[in-house]
Amino acid sequence: MSEECSDRQVPPWLYKLFTGHQYPYVRRQAKFGRKDRKPGEESREPTRPEIDEKFWEIYPECWVKVLQEVKTGMIVSFIELGSYEPGSYQELVDGPEAFLAREYGKKKIKINFYQGDNFVCTINFKVDGWTGHD
């Protein structure tokens, strides 16, 4: 499986979310955080091992915010449903649909990942047969 990270594993959806091109936080940290980079030197794209290393540095420090999308007319807003400290959301990672359905019911939910105050990435779920805004 090409989405594996050394001997540690996370679900492929999570690894791709953190390291893909849609949300460049981890890639940028790997690109500009190299210890061997000299001042003024042009930055090169990070290698897969550099990205993996940075992922495993950042991911364990991330906390999660769970938001519900609420649409009123043409306006979309978000209501915070909960948050989870680093290391306390393994069930969410392992089975997001089942976890969100059980904890929050049928909703359109956004999950935001943060490292401290820094936004890392987000993913949306239409949970448990959600068909439209209430």
DSSP conformation class of 33 = -
Report the SS3 class of residue 16.
Answer: helix
State the sign of the Cα–Cα–Cα–Cα dihedral 123, 127, 131, 132. negative
Rounded to an integer, what distance in angstroms lies between the CA atom of residue 118 and that of residue 129?
Answer: 32
Rounded to an integer, what distance in angstroms lies between the CA atom of residue 92 and that of residue 99?
Answer: 6
- pLDDT tens across the length of the chain (134 residues): 344 444 578 999 999 999 998 999 999 999 887 777 677 777 788 999 999 999 999 999 999 999 999 988 999 999 999 999 999 999 999 999 999 999 999 889 999 999 999 999 999 999 876 555 44
Domain boundaries along the sequence of the chain = 12-60, 62-126
